[in-house]
Amino acid sequence: MHQQSEAPVVSQVDPNRRWWRRADPDLARQAACVRSIAMQVGPPSAPMETRREFFRTGELTARMEWAQRLTGNAKAMVRSRLERARSLGDRRTVAIAPTSDKLTELLVNFPNFAPAIRQVQGQLSLCQCTPGRLLQLQPMLIEGPPGIGKTAFANELAKALGVALTRVNVSTLSADFSLAGLDASYESAKPGLIWDALDSPCMSPIVMLDEIDKTPPSSASALGCLYALLEGHTARQFCDEALRLPVDASYVVWIATCNDASLVEPALRSRFAITEVQAPTPEQMPAVVASVHQQLIHGREWANAFDTRLSADVVAKLAEMTPRQMHRALEQAYAEAANAGRDRLCADDIPRPVAESKRRLGFLN
Amino acid sequence: MTKNIQCGAPKDSASDYSKHIELLMITADKVPAGWRKTYDEAMRGLLKRDCASRSSLVVSGPLIQDGEIGFHVSKDDHCVAGILRKTAARLQGQCQVCGAQARMRVIGLKRRPLCAECYAPRALTAELTRLLQDLKVRAAGKSQTLYSAHDLSPRIRALLPDSCWHHVQSECGAKVVRCIASDDLRGMSDWLRAIRDRALALTSATTDG
């Protein structure tokens, strides 16, 4: 009875170890025993092994031989990209999932993103339960009104997770091959944005699909490759059209943003965990103002010339705007203050928000 | 159903035979814990077979060597020898630690019957010790080696996550071999050491006899 209950677990955990059960039930019991000892020890304090096979060396050799037979510009491009893949190695690093409390600061700066942050925190906690604590997050679609800081949030999330972010503006995708590459039989062949995002020592970049609900009709099929990429098992064999080297893209973290999730193609939408984010409430606004202000002045040399503390009336005036308007208004306000020879912002420096949606063109009434 | 197990007329007082058997029962602490129940049953069976014809029969032992138990019987007695032979055969398939059904295993230079659950931590301790030493030697020599799946014991293979393995094509290109780099194993050495210590602690906690 004991053996029967253990064996399926063995085969579920690792299909390569099915031979335990087939060959010898005694070995299956030994394996179960050994794993229970390992569980008592728990996951290693230092990352046990954070590298995973990105591609098979045999496949790369085959692609290199294939590249030799290509002609024209494509040959040089394909060879150089495959050489780069070889130099980066067949095994690449997968990011280690930070503990969920690493996102607490995000919660302070982006209080209106609490549902999205909680979702990521939950998944990070799950990652902590795995032996390698490798970062693997469900694709997430953030839906919310324009200008509430979705892109800024994704940037900050990437920083908190310690991974690189590749932003793909879906609304400006010019061609079908933008994401998955252009076939090497074309003279202008080149790898797509997904390959570019993976062309690094780390296998777990964040790919942010911005404004996914605004796909231009001319390049609607450009998102076709996402059907496979957003599913873990099919993403393990992602093939760029130009290079045709199957690589493991299952550790990519996908974050998409949109204003209206109903405009996203249903099959694509179903692959995401949708999180609705609202504009910040008046109570949340001071934190948002502080966050936007910090983002603006961070790394700007001119900020040293100012006393960057914001007075209550400045904050109150900024709190009436969306984060995007706030960013623009703050920049203008600092320019205004510099013009006036002041080193601190006053409420009058803040321009009035323009109600963009109510702006009328044509004749004035 | 009753069975006459006495081979001759019963004796009123304790014979030398019984004294020898009782002595064997007293010295049962030599017998591994997992074997004790079967051993005691056998001794009780021998006691019941005390009769006048066996008064001078001397049964001595037990001699435990190479995973087997042996006794010395002073003269030819089919009944007693049969019980002892059957007991010895039964104990060969019984775990010395827990008494469960077992197989004869080899750990180091010793052979002993152990069940899978008692054998795995003992074997793992020895195998991990060897592997860690090997890694240390290779690190000192600054040599990077690929361990194929067959170079590692089934128990160590069961420990290592599947994602650690490389798939390397053999020279002739016909076969894909699962390998793990010594550097990767070295990266896990603290963890492997902790598992070895845990396995060792588990085996020390159980009485082997």
Task: Domain count for chain B, please give it.
Answer: 2
Answer whether residue A12 is part of any domain.
no
Of A33, A57, A58, the CB nearest to B121: A33
In this prediction the ipTM stands at 0.82
Among chain A residues, the shortest Cα distance to B193 is held by A41
Cα angle, residue B175 at apex, residues B172 and B176 outer, rounded to 5°: 120
Q: Are A185 and A74 in contact (CB under 8 A)?
A: yes
Pairwise pLDDT comparison (B163 vs A51), residue with the higher score: A51
Residues of B in contact with A129 (CB under 8 A): none
pLDDT at residue number B209: 45
Distances (CA, A) of A321 to A279, A289, A349, B18, B78: 10, 9, 15, 101, 103
Q: Which residues contact A22 (CB under 8 A, 6 or more apart)?
A: none
Question: Of the candidates A214, A241, A276, which is a domain's last residue?
Answer: A276
Residue A289 belongs to domain with CATH number: 1.10.8
pLDDT tens-digit map of B173-191:
666 778 888 877 887 888 8
Above 80 in pLDDT, residue B164?
Answer: no
User: How many structural domains is chain A composed of?
Assistant: 2
- Residue A140: per-residue pLDDT: 94
The partner residue sitting opposite A34, judged by closest CB among B124, B162, B167, is B124
* Confidence grade of residue B3 (pLDDT, cut at 50, 70, 90): very low
Q: Are residues A101 and A205 both part of a single domain?
A: yes
Tokens of B102: 């077992």
Mean pLDDT by 10 residues, chain A (365 residues): 35 44 77 87 59 86 89 87 87 85 85 91 87 86 89 88 88 80 86 91 91 81 87 90 92 93 91 91 85 82 84 87 86 89 87 60 49
* Rounded Cα–Cα distance for residues A54 and A138 (Å): 20
A333 and A196 in a common domain: no
A65 falls within a domain? no
User: What mean pLDDT value characterizes chain A?
Assistant: 82
Kindly report the number of other CB atoms within 10 A of residue A7's CB atom: 19
A100 is in which domain, residue-wise?
92-276
Could you list the residue range(s) of the whole structural domain that residue B62 is in?
A: 16-106
CA torsion sign for B203, A36, A204, A258 is negative
CA distances from residue B2 to A77, B5, B44, B83, B86 in whole angstroms, order as listed: 92, 9, 17, 18, 21
Whether A40 and B198 lie within 8 Å, measured CB to CB = yes
Does A30 sit within 8 Å of B155, measured CB to CB? Answer: yes
Q: What does the pLDDT look like over B49-76, one tens digit per residue?
A: 878 777 778 888 788 888 888 888 888 8
Instruction: Write down the pTM of the prediction.
Output: 0.56
Amino acid at B11: K
Cis peptide bond N-terminal to A43, omega within 30:
no
Alpha helix stretches (DSSP H) within A42-128: 57-68, 72-88, 104-109, 114-128
